[in-house]
Structure 1
Amino acid sequence: MKKIYPQTKSILSLFLVLCTTTLFSQNYYVSPGGSDSNNGLTNTTPFKSITKAAGLVTPGNTVFLMKGVYAQGYIIISKSGSPGKYITYTAYPGDSPKITFTGSLWNLIIISASYIIFENIELEGNNANLTYSGALASYNDKNGGGNNTALYGQYNTNAISVNGDGSKGIFPTHVTIRNCKVHDFSAGGIGSGYADYLTVEGNTVYNNAWYTMYACSGISIINTYNSDNSTNYKIIVRNNICHDNKDLIPWVSITPHRLSDGNGIIIDVNQRTPIPTNSAGIPYTGRTLVENNV
């Protein structure tokens, strides 16, 4: 029998640990009929809220949304994956989950993390319960010096915001949003600011931005941030279907107030993204690819 020396055992043990770490990737499961008291580790013991799973994920994990309607308030995705180990939020195989809400909400999904994939999920806004006259009243209240944020939140809800904060040095990178249906939000459909390495592809985005007073669009990429010196294609918007996204309410933040945006897709303000070290802004030097959208 061959003798295994101690140093050989150590090398074998390290190899097994590395293999196990590489191969094993934790899945979490969420269902409207679940419970946040469950462990969320199987499809028979799912969490109830997406927020619960989002607070537990680590690089390489997948959060599966099972069938049903999720109406649980805003969802913040703040935990990042890592290169080669994206954190994925996706539909459970064969299911068609929907995330929606009622009432006052500024953003439904906020992604302030990096190395994230968000895919195969429907997001439905509240336009069916809103009216033009109500949106105009909200605008007039704000224009008159009001501060009724609860009212404004009803008519200015964004679906997905990949949301950096230049003043705090938060810049999401390597985020993919794909194969989602995003519709009937009073403000923007899919938007990003202060982000880099963003892919938006294969989505159907419609009936958004009707009632906002902040000039939103179906898909909006604004104030893109240079996370490195690469001049390759880093912002990709492709194979999306966008229709019936429009603004009906004047933009309250400009003078004189007037209708603006309501685009299907817009790439905006790449020439000057303010950052903590340069408030005047610096131009985005990466390339942006917009192709095969209808």
Structure 2
Amino acid sequence: MRQLLLILLCLTSISIYSQQNYYVSSSLGDNNNAGTSENSPFQTINRAFDNVEPGDTIYVMDGTYTNPDYGTANPHSSDGSQSTNMNNPPAVIVNKSGTAGNYITLRNLPGHNPKIKFDGRGGILISGPQSYLIIEGFEIEGPGASITYDQAIADRKWKVKADQEDLNYNHSYFASFGIWSGFSQDFLHHHVIIRNNIVHHTTGSGIRFNDSDHITIENNTVYNTTWWTSNASSAIVFAECKALSNNDNGDDIKMIMRGNTVYNNWNRIPFYMTSGKIPPNGNPPSGSYGNADYSTILDGQGLYVTRSDDDYYGTFLFENNLCVNNGKNGINFDRSEGSSALIRNNTIYFNGVHEIIQDISVSEGNPAHRGQKVAGIKANYFRNVTIVNNIVVTREYDFYAMQIQNQQSDGTVKEANNNIFVNGKLPGYTSQQTGEYVTHSWVTDDNQIISGVDFSNSNYKDPVSFVNAPPIVNGPIDMTPTNFQLKSDSPAINAGEQANTPERDILGNLRPLPPSDALAYSSFESSLGGWSAWSTANDNNEVSLSSETSRTGNQSLKVFGRTKDFHSAKYNISQLEVGSSYSLFIYAKLPEGKSGTAQLMLRKIVDGKGKSISYALKINSNWKLVATKMDNYSFAPVLQQLWKMDNN
């Protein structure tokens, strides 16, 4: 009895311990308050972290939250050594971890829109090996809107001089982040979710994680970042990823960039690599890259994965992202030689804006910093990659819409299927006979390629049929009037390869949409959708929703407890009209290691007697389409759709 009582008390303690809420208000709060109610909030977020424990939530109310000494940073326009207060501390420091079952959550109070402003190292820093965290619901603004080219290039010159003459340089103001993890090869961050934030005008990356595993960055908006740094930054970055443990280092999906809107992120200042030190797992593209006199710009991607540990075998997932008007590629999966990537259902529009930005800068009297012509999706030095169901639109043909190169020798998958490419160069070769560039057949055979679209022509027709995508963007884009949803006549509507289709789109709508003329449609995400067990009173089987496996989304319909061949799932249909034609289909699979037959049967039941049409197909443990069609339907208007399987 004593042991049982101890366990009960322990569980009770955990239950209470994991449900504490704290509240923060910059205008109404006081750090001497208890912080446990909206009427008695703390004043600063950092004060709340003094109290927080695993399972707790910090709710942040309306207001502006700034770093200590905010407003004191003063960059010099001609001599970087004269700049002052260039290393103000972060606005928020996350220094506590949750646990596997009890994440610590830092978020906005529902209905509130807190803003973090900084003029130093950044907005929210995860300072050490903190893990099991959720950060959501903030607007984070850096100092980029007030910085000039003269100030930023003066800082680079001072950075070079300080490095060459062994002087102190510590100007994080020009390398600031919105949300980021502290860099260290001695520990890693894991199980962190960053979602529903707006990050803009950071001098460095908007969101960045180094030395991490199991990170999800989803549904954030990141714009106008990375303009003024000499650190070769990109908008959202995973760098130097490594496995949490040897037992957690398979090829499953662990690093996710999903549903983010990323635009106007580019570099205007050439990279400088301090003391010529190559970062971990780095391999610069040329001998002069990052030198003092280096004047080219190769960086400024939208979504970027780089320099993963060679023995990191996880899969990176990029899905449902909208990347518009970024400096280089919309998505770049780079130098992750043991890793794989699944890049699906992203819209990449008018990236590769770097040259246009340089034209504008030159017109303002600044020197030109040119770069390579890339504007789409790139995979470079990787193990496996699948690029599927994406829309990539570039301004001109000679900018790469897709590059796939340097696959490792042990890689087994290099696929680009069912994408729509408008303009843009694709993987290929220069013909020795004609001297013309020829796209590889494995690209042309499996993708829709539309070329020769002149967006400057006032009579041009949008080949993708977006609701409102601008035909011309010269400089920063204003996303307010845009709408990258698809019109009903778009060739991309419901045209995705089903095996690689996410459950929902960037707006949260179910994908694919049911056909407009569908009489019945079941996704099994929230209910059985009208399906039930096909059995008799004496011979029963069961059906239920299952999260064990799914083709898309998170759930499927599971048939179990079968003892007869006819045990299956059924669906009653009563809306069929005589003389009409119908298609019926379902995706089915057997348990792992099993093979057998799936049968789709259409049965009319009258007075206990049945008349049937059936279609059988060999299946195994992979999802397979089982379908049949009825032309000129002549059954009476009560029909049962029966799915059964016989597994060996």
Write the distance in 2 (CA, Å) between the matches of 1:117 and 1:283: 27
Where 2:208 maps in the other structure, the secondary structure is strand
- Partner SS, residue 251 of structure 2: coil
Match of 2:236 in 1: 219
What is aligned with 2:20? 26
Please say if residues 163 and 195 of structure 1, whose CA atoms lie closer than 8 Å, have aligned partners that are also in contact.
Answer: no
Query: What CA distance in whole angstroms lies between the structure 2 residues aligned with 1:101 and 1:148?
Result: 23
Amino acid at match of 1:19: T
Distance 1:122 1:62 in 2: 18
Q: Does 1:267 align with 2:286?
A: no
The 5-angstrom pairing of residues 7-156 of structure 1 reads 7=1, 11-12=4-5, 14-15=7-8, 17-22=10-15, 24-33=18-27, 34-73=29-68, 74=90, 75-102=92-119, 105-111=120-126, 112=128, 113-145=130-162, 147=167, 149=169, 152-156=171-175
Identical pairs, percent:
34
**Is it true that 1:165 corresponds to 2:184 in the alignment?**
yes
Cα drift, residue 10 of structure 1: 6.5
Q: Secondary structure at the match of 1:123?
A: strand
Which residue number corresponds to residue 291 of structure 1? Answer: 319
Q: 1:187 to 1:14 in 2, by over 3 A?
A: same
Mind listing any 5+ residue stretches in structure 1 that lack a counterpart?
A: 1-6, 274-281
Which residue number corresponds to residue 277 of structure 1?
none
Letter of the structure 1 residue corresponding to residue 217 of structure 2: V
Match of 1:276 in 2: none
Please tell me whether the aligned partners of residues 164 and 172 of structure 1 are also in contact (alpha carbons under 8 angstroms). Answer: no
**Higher RCO by CA contacts (8 Å cutoff, separation 6 or greater):** 1
User: Is the partner of 2:152 in helix, strand or coil?
Assistant: helix
CA contact (8 A) 2:162 2:169 kept: no
Offset, 1:91: 0.2
Segment of structure 1 superposing worse, 231-240 or 12-21: 12-21
1:41-65, CA deviations, whole angstroms, 9 ceiling, x for partnerless residues? 1111111111111222111010111
Query: Unaligned 5+ residue runs, structure 2?
Result: 69-89, 274-289, 323-648
- 2: CA distance, partners of 1:143 / 1:175: 35
Measured after TM superposition, the shift of residue 196 of structure 1 is 0.5
> Superposition RMSD on alpha carbons, in Å?
1.8
How big is each residue's C-alpha offset from its partner over 1:110-161, in whole Å with a ceiling of 9 and x where there is no partner?
A: 11310000011110111122111100110111122365646x3332211111
State the SS of the aligned residue for 1:15.
helix
CA contact (8 A) 1:164 1:195 kept: no
SS at 1:242 equivalent: strand
Report how far residue 16 of structure 1 moved.
5.1
Whether the 8 Å contact between 2:159 and 2:169 is mirrored in structure 1 is: no
Once residues 149 and 109 of structure 1 are traced to their aligned partners in structure 2, the CA distance between those partners, rounded to angstroms, is 23
Q: How many residues align?
A: 272
**Amino acid in structure 2 at the alignment position of 1:31:** S
Q: CA deviation at 1:163?
A: 2.6
Contact 1:49 1:72 in 2 (8 A): no
Q: Between 48-57 and 20-29, report the one with greater CA deviation.
A: 20-29
Shift in Å at residue 17 of structure 1?
A: 4.8
In structure 1, distance between residues paired with 2:121 and 2:3 = 54
Report the 3-state secondary structure (helix = DSSP H, G, I; strand = E; otherwise coil) of the residue aligned with 2:202: coil
Matched, 1:247 2:262: no
Secondary structure (helix, strand or coil) at the match of 1:22 reads helix
TM-score, with length taken from structure 2: 0.41
